[in-house]
Amino acid sequence: MNIANVTDRFAVLAELESSEVSRWSSVVEVACRYVQSLCTVEAPDSGQTARLETLAAVYAFALYEMCGNSRLTQFVAGDVRLTSSADNAGGAWQLWKEMAKSNADLIRGDDFIFGRVI
């Protein structure tokens, strides 16, 4: 997965100016790792890689929408609790769900952002 491709797609989705994109590079990296962890194809071809990059960009956009907007009202790291206003539902997360479903041949379904740590 080419992180530059993911970053470019993310910037378009988030409608970011090029000067703002670097601020969100860690979010893009997290999204790439997350999508790679879901990937069920051992050696994706170029078409599959492009689809995975798009998925990573959409996931980064969902994280951006959640974290980058003032609509987020609370986040607690210990015993992970996330609270947000009602108008934060939809948008990027809905796009992520639809894209994940339409690319089910490449990734396993996973409705949770946070996994259990043992």
CB 61 within 8 A of CB 10: yes
- Confidence (pLDDT) at 9: 95
pLDDT digits (tens, 9 = 90+) for 19-44: 999 999 999 999 999 999 988 888 98
3-state secondary structure of 39: strand
Phi, psi for residue 73 in degrees, rounded to 5: -100, -20
Between CA 35 and CA 37 the distance in angstroms is 5
Rounded to 5°, angle at Cα 81 from 76 and 85: 100
pLDDT under 50: residue ranges of the chain: 70, 86, 88-89
**What one-letter code names the amino acid at 29?**
E
